[in-house]
């Protein structure tokens, strides 16, 4: 058994819409409540000794949603970016995973600025995946690898796993140890495909806005009981 707190936990924050519907509220209220859960769980994960957390906030596919919902989500991110300025006190490194160029210029610049300002912190790293897709991540890395081969006199065999990992949006974070998906679905939905190759998967029917610190404790306990072999045999 691994028996250790996972170094890196990734969360798929699913179920906001259903949480709201059950209460006769608009989906956007569900996202707002999901945002509150995100803040609480990120903070608690740090208290539990987890060093890296990654949250799936908006996928490359979520642009297909009604404009009103997309706008509401962008407003929530924007409010978070304003508030994140004060996170320097908490010594949290912030990273935004995904292609930022699609966002309003001011918003993209704010993300880059927060990343730069917090780069010095190494105790706790919070990554927020916005306009992120696992396939897109691998594809952009493959394009960059091809460019390296063309421009820097590298051959395709120079592109090994370590080098390629360094080209992904997650270059500054280790692979995922535990991936938590609330909301009842049992799939990865194009999240951290490369990085979750050996992640332990934890699914629960609880909807994300209802996910509590106790639920995180339960997921971590589940993880501690797993025997991780990484393709090797039992020792
Ligand atoms: C999936 O649930 C959730 C999203 C696509 C958005 C997640 C965003 C948040 C939790 C807000 C994040 C806020 C900040 C500040 C980072 P769903 O809407 O697909 O749920 P459903 O399956 O019940 O409809």
Closest ligand 1 atom to residue 80 Cα is 15
φ and ψ at 101, to 5 degrees?
A: -65, -15
The pLDDT-based confidence of 210 (bands split at 50, 70, 90) is very high
Taking the centre of ligand 1 as the mean of its atom positions, its distance from the CA of residue 79, in whole angstroms, is 15
Q: How far is the CA of 11 from the centre of ligand 1 (A)?
A: 11
pLDDT at 235 over 70: no
pLDDT confidence tier of residue 18, bands split at 50, 70 and 90: very high
The 10 Å Cβ neighbour count of residue 164 is: 16
pTM, to two decimals = 0.96
| Domains (range + CATH), the chain | 8-133+176-224 (3.40.1180.10)
- Ligand 1 centroid, distance to 191 Cα (angstroms): 14
Of 199, 197, 196, nearest in space to 222 by CA: 199
Contacts of 64-69 with CB under 8 Å at 24 or more apart are: 68/28, 69/27, 69/28, 69/31
**Helix, strand, coil share of the chain (percent; to 5):** 50, 15, 35
Mean pLDDT over 191-210 rounds to 98
Residue 131: is its pLDDT beyond 80?
yes
Which of 10, 34, 40, 206 for a ligand 1 pocket mutation test, highest count of atoms within 8 Å of Cβ? 34
Tell whether the model's pLDDT for residue 2 goes beyond 70.
no
How far away, in angstroms, is 155 Cα from ligand 1 center?
42
By most ligand atoms within 8 Å of CB, the mutation choice from 11, 13, 26 for ligand 1 is 13
**Closest residue CA from atom 2 of ligand 1:** 14
Ligand 1 site, CB within 6 A: 13-18, 31, 34-35, 38, 57, 62, 73, 76-77, 80, 128, 183
End-to-end Cα spacing for the chain? 11
């Amino acid at each position: 058994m691994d028996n250790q707190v996972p170094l890196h936990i990734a969360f798929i924050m699913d179920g906001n819409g259903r949480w709201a519907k059950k209460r006769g509220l608009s989906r956007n209220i569900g996202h707002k409540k999901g945002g509150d859960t995100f803040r609480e769980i990120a903070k608690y994960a740090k208290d539990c000794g987890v060093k890296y957390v990654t949250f799936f906030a908006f996928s490359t596919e979520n642009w297909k949603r009604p404009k009103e919902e997309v706008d509401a989500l962008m407003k929530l991110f924007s409010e978070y970016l304003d508030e994140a300025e004060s996170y320097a006190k908490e010594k949290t490194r912030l990273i935004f995973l995904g292609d930022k160029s699609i966002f309003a210029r001011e918003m993209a610049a704010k993300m880059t600025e927060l990343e730069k300002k917090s780069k010095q912190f190494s105790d706790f790293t919070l990554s927020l995946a916005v306009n992120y897709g696992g396939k897109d991540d691998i594809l952009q890395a493959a394009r960059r690898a091809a460019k390296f081969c063309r421009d820097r006199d590298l051959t395709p065999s120079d592109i090994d796993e370590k080098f390629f990992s360094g080209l992904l949006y997650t270059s500054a974070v280790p692979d995922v140890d535990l991936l938590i998906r609330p909301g009842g679905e049992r799939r990865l939905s194009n999240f951290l495909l490369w990085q979750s190759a050996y992640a332990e998967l934890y699914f629960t029917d609880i909807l994300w806005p209802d996910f509590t610190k106790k639920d995180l404790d339960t997921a971590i306990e589940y993880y501690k009981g797993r025997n991780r072999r990484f393709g090797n045999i039992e020792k």
